[in-house]
Amino acid sequence: MQVVIDARTTQDEVKFNGIGRYSRFIIEYLIKLNPNTHFILLMYDGPSTIDGLLNRSVRNIEVKRMGKHYNGSGLELIRHNLDLFFHVGLNRVLRKIKKDNAVFFSPYFWRGIPVFKLPTVLLIHDFALPKFHSYSTISPVHNILRAIHYWFELYRVLWAKKVICNSQNTYKDFLEYFSKFDKSKVEEVLLGVEEDDIGSQEVDKYLPSDWQKRGYLLYMGGGLTKNKNSEGVVSGFAQFIKRLEAEGKSRNECPYLVIAGKNFKDEVVADAVKFRSYVESKGVADLVHYAGFYEDVHRWPLMRKAFGFIHLSLFEGFGFAVAEAMRAGVPVIAHNGSTYPQVVGDGGLLVNGEDFEAVGQGIYKIYSDKEFARSLGKKGLAKSLEYNWIKTAKKTYNILEESLDGNIK
């Protein structure tokens, strides 16, 4: 069997978020567990997050390059848009691939689904964008154009051989949007979690200078889109600080809220500027620290050094950030809705992410009750061990085989 995988999500703008991390790990484990299968990876020119695998010259990998990724120039913008809507580069490469015994696997449908060229399997991460009618934060015009492109690609799923959903929540939503789709072709495959750092990484550069004295609550894996509920994190933190001050704790003794991610520090994007103004309006700007962009190797030490991890997204597919925090053993606070009751279970403190007082009480609980926090961290670690990339890759490979054989159960 030949498995053609669109690996561009290990190189483009999603390479460090949940989609990119999924792409990286599922590709690595599919190849590692199936040495007798020929894998063809479709990639742009340039570096990727799977270069460690490619540099080992694994014998069952063939890389097909699709040229440069969009770099901002006028000509590149034209080519980029042609690729977005007509998949010129994708189709050019696929024409050169022998179709016998081949199946196409797409980790992210928005990059293009060649359903009429090869039997196709794709993974659906979530339906956050249509649920919140938010496809772009740049401008209303961008939002409309990206919405058109989103649904133009997504409706091609109707011709796919198999669809993989990464949680019960995504499975339910998919069948809500595509009620006439054959349910026997839809599979739920939970994702894996893996600590991918080596050794101890120094992270002081991302943190306030006195963090060791005061401690910090970490918010990582969020963003400026409506579903992420970043304002809810700030409002809950403000309630927590009010309680500490009511108990007599001085301002310069209170812990920080560390927000990791480059988008929050953007000086141009209107939503980033608006968010920082919101932080100021809640009276906690002096206690909110923006860590900015962080390397993957710093993800785990940033989590382990925090007294707690918070994520109040109102809508997620699987929830990588929370699952990884659980694997790191840090006490987790998550929204009691969407996918989190399934993914977190009793491995974290579930609260109503829109009830800011309840959020503040949750933060206070893990901050003040060390035994509770220790116990919660252990439960989270135990729960996270259920999410295993070997299981994910094996189930995914079986689905690829079924789609090629036409043996849809």
Report the alpha-carbon distance of residue 42 to residue 92 in Å, rounded.
11
| Intervals of the chain under pLDDT 70 | 71-86, 88, 115-116, 196-200, 406-409
In this prediction, residue 71 carries a pLDDT of 61
Token look-up 């390479």 returns 15
> Is 204-384 a domain of CATH 3.30.390.10?
no
In this prediction, residue 407 carries a pLDDT of 45
pLDDT tens per residue, range 174-205: 999 999 999 999 999 999 998 765 556 788 99
Query: Looking at domain 2-192+388-405, which CATH architecture does it have?
Result: 3-Layer(aba) Sandwich (3.40)
Asked if 364 contacts 243 with a C-beta cutoff of 8 angstroms, the reply is yes
Report the alpha-carbon distance of residue 234 to residue 236 in Å, rounded.
5
Asked if 314 contacts 337 with a C-beta cutoff of 8 angstroms, the reply is yes
In this prediction, residue 79 carries a pLDDT of 63
Asked if 310 contacts 217 with a C-beta cutoff of 8 angstroms, the reply is yes
In this prediction, residue 77 carries a pLDDT of 55
Our measurement of the distance from residue 62's CA atom to the centroid of its chain's CA atoms, rounded to an integer in Å, reads 27
In this prediction, residue 74 carries a pLDDT of 57
Report the alpha-carbon distance of residue 272 to residue 308 in Å, rounded.
24
Q: Which residues contact 28 (CB under 8 A, 6 or more apart)?
A: 50, 53, 389
Token look-up 């740049």 returns 138
User: Angle 356-368/230-246 helices, nearest 10 degrees?
Assistant: 60
In this prediction, residue 198 carries a pLDDT of 52
Asked if 350 contacts 367 with a C-beta cutoff of 8 angstroms, the reply is no
* Cα–Cα distance list, 407 to 185, 400, 401, 403 (Å): 10, 10, 8, 7
Domain spans of the chain, in order of start = 2-192+388-405, 204-384
Report the alpha-carbon distance of residue 147 to residue 130 in Å, rounded.
8
Q: Which alpha helices (DSSP H) does 250-409 contain, by range? A: 270-281, 299-304, 320-327, 340-343, 356-368, 370-384, 389-405
Q: How many helices (H) and strands (E) does the chain have?
A: 16, 13
Q: Which residues contact 407 (CB under 8 A, 6 or more apart)?
A: 401
Report the alpha-carbon distance of residue 281 to residue 45 in Å, rounded.
45
Report the alpha-carbon distance of residue 371 to residue 72 in Å, rounded.
52
pTM of the model: 0.89
Identical fold, 2-192+388-405 and 204-384: yes
Sheet harboring 120-124: ordered strands across? 61-65, 38-43, 2-6, 102-106, 120-124, 162-165, 186-188
Report the alpha-carbon distance of residue 340 to residue 337 in Å, rounded.
6
